[in-house]
């Protein structure tokens, strides 16, 4: 009998959660964070148009801001900010779309730059130099993570239990170099202008 207590309690809890989630609730859509890319001292920059693929594949209430920065050494950093809407498919992990764009992703790692966690990978294409790439997520409540799994878990809890749809922001940075030190230096400066 003692060996059945844990499975019985676990089953009761799971059934309770499933019944709670089965309620017909209309989750509240949170206000999106006000995020826009700004100028960075010491960098030339220009606004970048959102691609036709992004506009047609992602849900209509997805918001974008994109900017290209160039440092004094000619290194380029392309920054994309995607603000999700009601659909969970607005913001997704880059591992889903980068291989479809012809990139091979290697050397995944996580590092904290300033007080922001970033997920780094090295991108390569046939007959092209390797590139650095980093991404992070945050929501309107200020919760930050570089982990797609943590973001999804929090989103499930917020939608299912708290009855709200978080407005997640995904920030991605493509670097024209695979020099991680240069990319981290840029990310330190980027934090000051992502408002």
Question: Cβ contacts of residue 163 below 8 Å, gap of 6+?
Answer: 25, 26, 27, 28
* pLDDT tens-digit series, residues 101-131: 889 999 999 999 988 999 999 999 888 889 9
Residue 25: pLDDT band with limits 50, 70, 90: low
Question: Distance (Å, rounded) from C-alpha 144 to C-alpha 118?
Answer: 10
For the chain, give the number of residues: 195
108, 85 contact by CB (below 8 A)? no
* pLDDT tens-digit series, residues 57-96: 889 999 999 999 999 999 999 999 999 998 888 888 888 8
From the list 65, 10, 56, 96, the residue with the least C-alpha distance to 190 is 65
Which range (1-5, 66-70, 158-162, 172-176) has the least confidence?
Answer: 1-5
Residue 184: pLDDT band with limits 50, 70, 90: very high
Q: Looking at 17-62, which runs of residues are DSSP E strands? A: 28-29, 44-47
The secondary structure element, H or E, covering residue 10 is helix 5-21
């Amino acid at each position: 009998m003692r060996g059945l207590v844990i499975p019985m309690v676990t089953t009761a809890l799971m059934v309770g959660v499933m019944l709670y989630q089965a309620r017909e609730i209309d989750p509240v859509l949170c206000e999106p964070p006000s995020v826009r890319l700004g100028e960075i001292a010491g960098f030339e920059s220009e606004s970048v148009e959102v691609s036709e693929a992004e506009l047609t594949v992602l849900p209509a209430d997805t918001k974008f801001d994109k900017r290209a920065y160039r440092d004094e050494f000619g290194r380029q950093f392309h920054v994309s900010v995607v603000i999700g809407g009601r659909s969970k498919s607005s913001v997704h992990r880059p591992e889903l779309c980068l291989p479809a764009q012809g990139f091979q992703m290697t050397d995944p790692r996580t590092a904290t730059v300033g007080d922001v966690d970033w997920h780094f990978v090295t991108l390569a294409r046939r007959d092209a130099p390797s590139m650095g790439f980093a991404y992070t997520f945050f929501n309107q409540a200020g919760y930050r993570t570089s982990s797609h799994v943590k973001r999804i878990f929090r989103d499930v809890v917020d939608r299912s239990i708290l009855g709200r749809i978080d407005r997640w922001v995904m920030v991605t940075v493509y670097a024209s170099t695979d020099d991680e030190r240069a990319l981290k230096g840029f990310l330190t400066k980027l934090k000051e202008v992502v408002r």
